[in-house]
Amino acid sequence: MTKPADKPQWVRIAEQFEHSGLTQKQFAQQQGVPLSTVQSWIYRRRRQVAAPSAPAVRLLPVEVAEPTVSSAGKMEVLTCRGARVSFASGTDVAYVARLVAALESASC
């Protein structure tokens, strides 16, 4: 096989590999192309297919302060907009993150 020149042709080749049932090495030999090239395009295709399902990561600014004696057992978050949220130590981090995100996006 001659070396495919365009991306759509390589995407088709990577798809053919996925359905071939062969190892990457066997497939590369069968197609007459370097193993590293086949591996690269298989990796790119898998990453492209998996990308839409990955959840978006949203980072929030955080400032860590020393806990005081009076707040033992409790944690506190102060959002960029000035909202202060207190919760017990051990509260689910994902819940706190969702709560802070909702407070930050809420219009007052």
pLDDT score of 52: 60
Provide the phi-psi class of 82: left if phi over 0, else alpha when psi is between -120 and 50, else beta.
Answer: left
- What's the CA gap between 104 and 60, in Å, rounded? 9
Name the band, by pLDDT with cuts 50, 70 and 90, for residue 67.
Answer: low
Query: What's this model's pTM, rounded to 2 decimal places?
Result: 0.41
DSSP per position, the chain = -PPP-SHHHHHHHHHHHHHH---HHHHHHHHTS-HHHHHHHHHHHHHHHHGGGSPPP--------PPPGGGTTEEEEE-TTS-EEEEETT--HHHHHHHHHHHHH---
Tokens describing residue 42: 């298989």
- What's the CA gap between 36 and 40, in Å, rounded? 6
- What would the mean pLDDT of 23-27 be, rounded to a whole number? 90
Taking Cα atoms as reference points, which of 50, 47, 16, 12 lies closest to residue 30? 16
Query: What digits encode the pLDDT tens for the residues 88-97?
Result: 878 888 888 8
Domain range annotation of the chain: 7-53, 56-108
